[in-house]
Amino acid sequence: MKYIQKKRTGVGYSKLLKIHKAKGSYDDTKNDNSKRPKVTTRTDILKDLLDEQGYLCAYCMREISLDNADIEHIVGQKYVDSEGKEIGKKEDTCYDNMLAVCHGNFCKNETHCDTSRSKYQAKRPLLSISPLNRLQMNGIKFTQSGVVYYENLDDETEMNFDLNSVLNLNCENIRSKRKKIIKTIKKILSKHRFDKKFAQKELEYWEQRNGSYKAFCQVAIFELRKYI
């Protein structure tokens, strides 16, 4: 995970804002025959989400595009609170409740990201951790073996349960990708005797965005900051 800052400036956002205010539907797969405003495609909304995320999955940081991404609702669409209020339904068309995510099919027979989360919707409809929370994202760390975990003073148990179990972000293929990046970073730095100036240049390389971020960039950023 890496921090995502909402832009709220795109075509999809503008359309969705009107839909949200009118309590309409943006999804043409919904069986809605009313005269409420409706966007006939999710493409504009998804494009805005992808653009602000640098075309990386909001959870695992794999590269995604319009062809292989889904819209994730942070507050599940079916979530009802303890007082019986349909919060999920209310937030269904809220742009700030949306992320772009991968299909969760990178780990062989295991699912991850939103696809894995769907299995927990009934028992755990809300995540404790969010890539929209800068403070939380500052607590995201990676071990040398590529394991992602949360370390901070508050709610470590809940956060790590979401990372490990609900989102399954430490499944073998994803973990191995992170491990490879960390190993490569250390190998390159070793050749330059862990020079701080060189590490700074490498950091700038991984932080830069040319339309999109590099896959798993936050892993490299986390590792490089140790040597600056």
Structure tokens at 181: 């990046």
Percent of the chain with pLDDT over 70: 93
For 51-76, what is each residue's pLDDT tens digit? Answer: 999 999 999 999 999 999 999 999 98
Domain ranges of the chain: 11-227
pLDDT of 209: 93
Q: What is the pLDDT of the chain when averaged over all its residues? A: 90
pLDDT of 34: 52
Q: What angle do CA 95, 11, 167 make, to 5 degrees?
A: 35
pLDDT of 125: 84
Beta bridge partners of 141: 149
* Residue 191 scores a pLDDT above 60: yes
pLDDT of 153: 74
Q: Which is nearest to 182 in space by CA: 137, 214, 222, 228? A: 222
pLDDT of 41: 59
Span between the terminal Cα atoms of the chain, in Å: 22
For 149-173, what is each residue's pLDDT tens digit? Answer: 999 877 799 999 999 999 999 999 9
pLDDT of 26: 74
Give the mean model confidence (pLDDT) for residues 18-27.
80
For 132-154, what is each residue's pLDDT tens digit? Answer: 999 999 999 999 999 999 998 77
